[in-house]
Amino acid sequence: MPPSLPISRDSQSKLLHILRLSAQIFAQRGFQRASIRDISRATGVSLSGLYYYFESKQKLLYLIQKNAFTSILESLTQRLQSLHEPQARLHLLIQNHLEYFLAHPYETRVLSHEEDALDEPLRKEIATIKRNYYNQAREILEQVVAEVPGSNLNPRLAILTLFGMMNWVYQWHNPDLDPGAEELTNVIVGIFLHGVLPGAPEDTEFHMAELPAADS
Amino acid sequence: MPPSLPISRDSQSKLLHILRLSAQIFAQRGFQRASIRDISRATGVSLSGLYYYFESKQKLLYLIQKNAFTSILESLTQRLQSLHEPQARLHLLIQNHLEYFLAHPYETRVLSHEEDALDEPLRKEIATIKRNYYNQAREILEQVVAEVPGSNLNPRLAILTLFGMMNWVYQWHNPDLDPGAEELTNVIVGIFLHGVLPGAPEDTEFHMAELPAADS
Amino acid sequence: MPPSLPISRDSQSKLLHILRLSAQIFAQRGFQRASIRDISRATGVSLSGLYYYFESKQKLLYLIQKNAFTSILESLTQRLQSLHEPQARLHLLIQNHLEYFLAHPYETRVLSHEEDALDEPLRKEIATIKRNYYNQAREILEQVVAEVPGSNLNPRLAILTLFGMMNWVYQWHNPDLDPGAEELTNVIVGIFLHGVLPGAPEDTEFHMAELPAADS
Amino acid sequence: MPPSLPISRDSQSKLLHILRLSAQIFAQRGFQRASIRDISRATGVSLSGLYYYFESKQKLLYLIQKNAFTSILESLTQRLQSLHEPQARLHLLIQNHLEYFLAHPYETRVLSHEEDALDEPLRKEIATIKRNYYNQAREILEQVVAEVPGSNLNPRLAILTLFGMMNWVYQWHNPDLDPGAEELTNVIVGIFLHGVLPGAPEDTEFHMAELPAADS
DNA sequence: TATGAATGAGTGTTCATTCAT
DNA sequence: TATGAATGAACACTCATTCAT
C-alpha cells in the first residue's frame, strides 16, 4: 500500500488523499476517459508531482482496487471471528459487502466497473484477491446449504447470483431514495434465502415447452 | 452528404456487419480503449470509409446499443402476447433476457458495461428505451406479487435485484462450464421466487443487533 | 524503403524529402536532442502528419541510415564491376566512401554518430548491412596485401584504421578550406599505402623502452 | 550556496567517484539519453544530493571532458620533456593518446562522442583545450616532416587523419581480441609513417580518370 | 552535506475526424 | 461508396532542476 519511494507519515496520508479523489474521478468519468490531468486538477498536485506517489495510471488504479478489497476483506475476517451460525455468517457477508459499497460508492464503482482496465500482471494480482473473497463467500454459502437436507443447489450459480444482486447495486442505488445498508441487507438476504414468494415453491415451476420461443 | 443511415440493401447489411464486429471489439477492449483503427482493421474497411456508415464513434456505440435493446424488446413483446399468467410472464421475461445475453455476449457486454460511455443527448435516448424495458419488467413483477396476499415487498428493490442477478451474468458466464439459457433461467427464477432455502422463512431472519459492527 | 502504408509516387517522394530534412536536423542537433516537433517545423508537415510516413522516431532514424548505406553499397558494387586491379579497387572503395560523405554530410553524420541511438532489433539490421560493407572492404584490402611478399600486416587493424581515417572526416572537414573528394582520396590512399614518410621504414622504428612512461 | 567546486578532501574524492560513474553512464547510454536519475541510481546519491557536486548536467559533462583532457595533456607534457628526437616525440604522442583511451574507455567515448552535447560557453572552453592539444600534435608532426627533404604533405590533413585513426579506436577496440596500447601504437605509427605497403610509392598512384564515376 | 517532495516544460505518440478525389 | 493523406487536440509520462529542511 505505501508507494515505492516515500516513507513519511505526511506522504502516506497524502497518497491516501490522492487515492480517494482519484477513485471519485475514475468512478465519474471512467478509467480510460479520466486523465491524469483531471486528477492533477482535483488534487491540486501538479501533473508531474503525482508521479511521485504512483508510477503509472495503471498502478494508481491498482492501488485503489487493492486498498478497497483489502478493506472489505479485513473487516469481514474480523467480524466473522465471533460468528459461527451459518446463516448469521452469510448475513454478515452480505451486510459487510453492502456497508462498504454504500459508504464508498466511488471505490465500489471502480472495483465493479474497472476490473478489466488493468493489464497484466496487475490484473492477476487483483484477480487473486478477488478469488480469495469469492472462495470465502462460497464456503459460507455451502455451510448454509449443508443444513438443508436434500438440496440440489448449484453453489457456483447461487453465489454468483448473489454477487450479481449485490454488485449491481452501484448501478442504481440512490441514497435519497433507497434504503441504507441495514435494510438493503435484509431485503437481499430475504430474496436470496426465501425469494419474493412465501410458501411452497413446487407448483410454481414452469417448463420451456409452455413458453413461446424467440424468433431468431 | 451520405444519409444518416444508408439505404441500399447491401449497405444495410454491411452496416450490420460493422456493428457486429464493433460490438466485439468494444466488448473486448472497452469502448474508450478501442480505436476506430481497430475497427478498420477488423472489418477491412478503411478508416475514412467507416464514416460512411456512422457519423462518429459515439454514434456507433449508440447504434449498437439501440439495436440490441430493440432486439430484446421486440422479442419480448411478441412472446408476451400469448401469455397471461403472471408467473409465466415473469419466467418469460427472464428467459428472453438470458437467451439474448448468452446468444450475443459481445452486445450484452457493451449494453451492460458501456452505459455511461455515451454523452448526451444519445445517452438519454438509450436511457429512455431502458426505462421502458424496466417499467415493463416492473409491471410484470407487480402482477406476480399482487397474487400474494399480504406481501410487503418493495417492488423497486425487487426488480433491481432481479436485474442485478441477470445483468451480472456477463461477468462470469462460461459457456463450457455453466448451463445454457434454459437451465439458467430456471435457477434464477427459482432463487428469485423462492430463494435457496425451502420452507418457512420466519425463523431464519437476523437482526443487526446480533451482528458485530464494522470498525470504521 | 517505402513506408509500410503509402504507395503513391507523391507519397514516396514526400517521404524522401522528409528523410532528407530529418537527416539534417539529426545531424545538427543530435538524434536524442532533436524532437519530432523540430522535424514538423522544418518540413511544414504537422506533428501527427509525420506519423503517416514513419511509425516512430526510431524507425525514422533507421530509414535514414538504411537509405544511406544502401546508397553507398549500391554505388560501390556497381563501380567495382569493371575494376580488377587490387590497388585500383581499394582506391575506388575510399573514393566512393568519401564522395558520398562529402556530398551528403548530414546523412554521413547520422551514419557515423548515431549508430547506437537505435534500439534492437533495428540496430541489428543496420549492423548487418555495416558488416557487409566492412567485409567487402576487408577483402579488397587483403587482395592488395596479398601482392606484397612477406607482409605481416594485421588486416583487421589495418582496415579499421582506414575506416577511422575516413569516418572521422565528418568531424573536421570544412568545404571552404579542405580539398574535395578526389584530392582527399589521394591523400588518404597515399598515407594508408605509403605513410607520410617516403623511403625505408626499418630505421625509424621505436621501442617502448626508450619512451618515458605515464604516471598512473 | 555550495562552492562551485567543493573543497574538503572527502568531497573532492566523492566528486571524482561521481565523475567516473557518470562517464560510464554517458558512454553507455549517450549524454542526452542518460538521466540524472540514472546517475543517482548508479552512485547511490540522491537526485538532489548530486547537485551539491555539480550545478547542472551540462556542467557535469564539462567536468568529465575537462578532467579527461587535462589528464591526457599533463601526461603528454611531462613525458615529452625528456624526448627531443621528432619521430620519438610523435610516437609518444600516439602512445600517450592510446594508453589513455584503452585505460579509460568510458571517458574516451564521452570525449570523442559528446563533443557537441555541450552548449556555449562550456563548449568553447573545451574546444580551446582541444585546439591546444591539436596544435601541439601538429607541431610535433611538422618537425617530423621537416626532416624529410621535398615533402609536400598537407600537415592539417595529415594530423587530422592521424586523429581519425586514433579516435575511431573507441568504436571498435575489443580488449579480448585486439592488441593493447603498446602494440596498437606500433601499428598506427607504422601505418601513419610508412603505410601498409613497403617500398617505392611512385608507381602505385592512381588517377581519377581511370576510375568509374558514381551515377548521381 | 544531503534529501524528500515538488514542478514547468517538454517528449513521443495516438486519436477521432476531415476532405479532396 | 470508398480511401489516402492530413491535422489539432490530447495523452501518459519524463526530465532537469529547485527548495525547505
Q: What is the pLDDT of residues B156-215, one digit of tens each?
A: 999 999 999 999 999 999 999 999 999 999 999 999 999 998 764 444 444 445 566 665
Nearest to residue D64, comparing CAs of D39, D85, D46, D41?
D39
pLDDT of residue B202: 46
Q: Is the pLDDT of residue B2 over 50?
A: no
Residue D141 and residue D119 in contact, taking contact as beta carbons nearer than 8 Å: no
pLDDT for D101:
96
Q: Which segments of chain A have a pLDDT < 50?
A: 1-3, 200-208, 216
Any idea how long chain D is?
216
Nucleotide F3 C1' to residue B54 CA (A) = 16
Q: How far is CA C162 from CA B63, C195, D166, D205, in A?
A: 69, 12, 11, 17
Using one digit for the tens of pLDDT, what is the confidence trace for B70-104? 999 999 999 999 999 999 999 999 999 999 999 99
Residues of C in contact with D99 (CB under 8 A): 214
Chains in contact with D, where contact requires at least 3 CB pairs less than 8 Å apart: C
Buried b (16+ CB within 10 A) or exposed e, D70-90: ebbbebbeebbeebeebbbbb
Q: What is the pLDDT of residue D149?
A: 82
Contacts 24+ apart (CB under 8 A), D140-148: D140/D86, D140/D89, D140/D90, D140/D93, D141/C196, D141/D90, D143/D86, D143/D89, D144/C196, D144/C197, D144/D86, D144/D87, D144/D89, D144/D90, D145/C196, D146/D86, D147/D86, D148/C197, D148/C198
pLDDT band at D215 (very low <50, low <70, confident <90, very high): low
Q: Do B79 and A211 touch (CB under 8 A)?
A: yes
By the 8 A CB rule, do C201 and D194 touch? yes
pLDDT in tens, D39-60: 999 999 999 999 999 999 999 9
Decide if D196 and C83 are in contact by the 8 Å CB cutoff.
Answer: no
Closest by CA to A139, choosing from A116, A120, A158, is: A158
**Å from B107 to nearest chain A CA?**
15
B75 beta carbon to strand E: under 7 Å: no
Mutation site for B-interface testing, chosen from A92, A161, A176 by largest number of B Cβ within 10 Å: A161
* Closest-approach nucleotide to residue B46, Cα vs C1': F3
- Supply the pLDDT for residue C7: 61
Alpha-carbon span C151 to C145, nearest angstrom: 7
From the CA of A169 to the C1' of F5: give the distance in Å. Answer: 48
Q: Is the CB of D45 under 7 A from strand E?
A: yes
Whole-prediction pTM: 0.89
| Mean confidence (pLDDT) of chain C | 90
pLDDT digits (tens, 9 = 90+) for B28-55: 999 999 999 999 999 999 999 999 999 9
Radius of gyration of chain D (CA): 21
Q: Residue D181: in which H helix or E strand, if any?
A: helix D181-194
CB proximity D206 to C under 8 Å: yes
- Residue A200 has φ and ψ, to the nearest 5°, of -75, 130
- Among A residues 27-66, those touching chain B with beta carbons less than 8 Å apart: 30, 32-33
* Distance F10 C1' – B68 CA (angstroms): 32
Residue D4 in this model has a pLDDT that exceeds 60:
no
- Least Cα distance to C167 among A162, D169, B38, D141 occurs for D169
| CA dist list (Å): A28 to A34, A105, A114 | 8, 10, 12
Q: Name the band, by pLDDT with cuts 50, 70 and 90, for residue C201.
A: very low
Per-residue confidence (pLDDT) for residue C150, from 0 to 100: 79
D210/C166 CB distance under 8 A? no
Mean pLDDT value of segment B125-130 = 96
At C39-68, the pLDDT tens digits run 999 999 999 999 999 999 999 999 999 999
As given in the structure block, the three cell numbers for residue A150 are 436434500
Query: For helices B86-103 and B155-167, what crossing angle results, to 10°?
Result: 30
Per-residue confidence (pLDDT) for residue A6, from 0 to 100: 52
Coil, strand or helix at D82: coil
Query: Measured from the CB, is D40 under 7 Å from any atom of strand E?
Result: no
Residue found under cell 621505436: C206
pLDDT tens column, D175-202: 999 999 999 999 999 999 999 987 644 4
Summarised one tens digit per residue, pLDDT across range D96-154 is 999 999 999 999 999 999 999 999 999 999 999 999 999 999 999 999 998 888 888 99
Instruction: Say whether C196 and D30 touch across the interface (CB within 8 A).
Output: no
From B21-30, B203-212, C149-158, C200-209, the region with the lowest mean pLDDT: C200-209
